[in-house]
Structure 1
């Protein structure tokens, strides 16, 4: 396939609807799925400007840096935000969302992260969705790292707007964002009065129905997305999710075997595992150790968590051979920093999770 094609030609008009259909299939929704040329934050902004008016009341679940982004967006567009705060490493309980909706029956939307990647914690999307579904409020989910790493039944759970990003489980560079829109959300958009131009989703849908994008698209990324979607469809979205969940389970097991402490033990995400640095150690040294000694990339903590935690991703193409190597590298880095380590102990924990998963699949196949 060519590396680029002109976006106002028949070549693109043939390609674009196919990509949108495949994206819709991978999302698993009967609603519309649209593409914006932006980072995920652009689609988050679109989910505000297209469905609300100034002064509208929203409930925001804020459990980390990306929850704080929802708060910033609500403030920027002058929404009336009821913010439910959770400490870093924790999540907002569905019961708190239900109570907030009961206390604020005029709420127009509930905004939260499926996976709060700044802390490695995951919200109970199903429960929050089903609670919100009973009300007139829209359920708006930042699933930029949740899609492809955790089950998300968009239609069944009543998730009205779900945002994804190209650089996570979709395995291509950053630059595209995806947004699913339910019939309930489109109905609310009819009375939404916030200003919008570039992120006008009605215009985007009108053009998409013709096989085109409203604005100049990132054609090279859409070509790459077309191939990534073929891979995901062939593999199966459920298998992509299962892979992330197994990697996360194995990473948590390895961390505990090495005497490390998980940062979000009660609601761990399967998109990323956040691990506390050993006492007296800066997590930046671990991040630098991976980069300088092995050419590997992991993430430091963000904001107030910088230097306190390090984060290991489980998105997309990552698989068990990657994890075997990563945990072995971690053992060496910890040892080099004077942390007592029994070499192979963490790797063995990963091996056990892998072996158990393979054995379970073999048993299932026999049945």
Structure 2
């Protein structure tokens, strides 16, 4: 067992700096373990959190029989003559510890607010931003108890949050061998217990395997609980079934909370299905400014071809470069072709040709005559020249 060289969190509250989120994650992971032991701590506070030399947090304070009489750490439901201690009251105390540690990231602050919710069952029993790669619950308890995983499993059959955590452990191989079949077993248990994240996970599982009926059932359960990722995933499922109006409803819900994938998907829907370039550009832009690479590529395409806006090669190049920086192959090809076409058209303009020699009997440009004329140029394949001419003439008319 590691020694708590630094003493308590209370002793080091001014020294933790940017470690507050990691410390909170470790405390939360320890509480998940205690839930697996069916144990309510009752006295979570900064003076009962020990810190090692490396600022790893350990939950302590198990030996005292006194009740937590300090109202600063007490959940609202405990401030009565008949206090109801529960896992949720420990989570409220965690929220108070987080508040004591000071302001953190946006995710950290949102998590803290949820922990301090007056309604006990609205408090998250597990860290909403924790991953099994980040922490393992076992080392976060200052005890020598064995059978920790078995204790978690015994709790998981009545606690969907714990069952989902175990599923994530097996999927990631965190302190257990990677076992996708075992992971799905626990995700299913969690989903049937009402865990929205696990319900979404089961939706993805069936969606990937082409079982749209099962996928829809699980996505809908998670979506109705307000699980935002499920809104977007359900929209994707409906879109692939050509149920565009239903898909748009779920995409709009996700887009309203800045889900970049949903915003991009709405752009594609307006672009490919409803043929409204103006609205397509608007939704692509919402996703692109959040750094969504596929939307960045589409913004480049829209500006290059004048879809929903005036053609603007500079803006097109700007968006293509953003997408290229994230490895988007089509953006790289599109930018290369756009630059090639631009050079070709400059060469054409500077040639001072008699354009009437390339017109047909009705005064329209004749592609065949253009190609024959372009054979005298050494810039590149003839099709590039033809494309450049057609694009330039089209853009000139639109202007």
Same fold (TM over 0.5): no
Of structures 1 and 2, the larger Rg is shown by 2
Shorter-chain TM-score: what band? Answer: under 0.3
Structure having the larger proportion of residues in helix: 2
